[in-house]
Structure 1
Amino acid sequence: MADRGKKRYVPDGDPLWYKDATIYELHVRAFHDSDGDGVGDFRGLTGKLDYLQDLGVNTLWLLPFYPSPLKDDGYDISDYTAVHPSYGTLADFRIFLREAHRRGIRVITELVVNHTSDQHPWFQRARRSPPGSRWRNFYVWSPTPDKYREARIIFKDFETSNWSWDSVANAYYWHRFYSHQPDLNYDSPDVRRVIFRVLQFWLGLGVDGLRL
């Protein structure tokens, strides 16, 4: 998705760069630890950019690195515009991005926008908001678990339904993945609006692509 509002750094100006990219996918937490706490971080990754460049890598694909309870390895996001504190700060990310670009390495970030963590402020606000309100409608609710029965359950070893009961909302909420990952409701214009803002945030920082 292109950010047409801002001029971003593009190493060679080719809009079809991804067709010939040499992409290295990595999880920041598992790559290189700069401070000895046993968890990889952006400072550690920045320190290894020369190594990655020597391998012939010209694009890095980062798995989710956002604040998260980490019940699903970061795919349960609780804040879309920050960095998990175990991996550093947003300032550390900016330095990493600048140094990657300085070496001609593009950066793709994985941004999970189908669902959030149930600890995300949006869900916490939704479950406490009145039925039919704009905040409640950030997610998909039902008084019964009978809707969409034709949808298969993806993780049958862990989930018995795509609906889970929330005692605060006094209703069931929809999740295609785990019950701690409630699905966002894209029928809501408010959801579409805030997600576009999230995309604009990361593209505005200079990331070269998003895997949604």
Structure 2
Amino acid sequence: MRVVIAGGHGQVALRLERLLAARGEQVAGIIRRPEQASDLQAAGAAPVVCDLESATVGEVAGHLKAASAVVFAAGAGAGSQFARKDTVDRGAAVMFADAAEAAGVRRFVMVSAMRVDQEPSEGTDPGFAAYLRAKGAADADIRARSGLDWTILRPGRLTNDPGTGLVTLAESTGRADVTRDDVAAVLVGLLHTPGTARRTLELTGGSTPVNEAVAQAAG
């Protein structure tokens, strides 16, 4: 399997790259800054320098040729300006999906967030509200596509604690923390479980082993 990850230098993405490379998979990570390349190489991934905010669909599709699956794990980041919530968290995700379709890559896994299907509650930090709206719009676009075998993963609050290998993965889990290690492990499982296509799944720490949780989600 060849997997291409948008946002390849992110904390979850680097963990995912290590796991895939350890399995002997071919993995590439799309990054915006050339100085990030060495971190991807250390993780076992081939770096692809491409700014998803300015690249065309055709340019990105060229990087996705021969891919078996793609993962969108990019994000503007907590300190980014409001405009980049839209251009990255929504716009780049939609463009990446367009590129996947153009390249003939059906398997598309989206790393999203909880509570993006509803209007942010009164008093929500404006920057975070803009992020939630952008992610919600991206998810809606992905779910409307018949040309992709998509899975949307919505983790709870991310932590850097060591992974436990035990999670709760379901359409609705309630809000709770989850380690980035466990998110990456679940993403590996989703990529290798076609039965999870066209599912929107929430993820938190829990009591079910990752492989079992993914198999249950595939139903």
Query: Do the structures match in fold with TM over 0.5?
Result: no
TM-score interval (norm. to shorter): 0.3 to 0.5
Name the TM-score, length of structure 1 as normaliser: 0.32
Q: Which has the higher contact order (CA 8 A, sep 6+)?
A: 1
Structure with greater strand percent? 2
Mark the structure with the bigger radius of gyration: 1
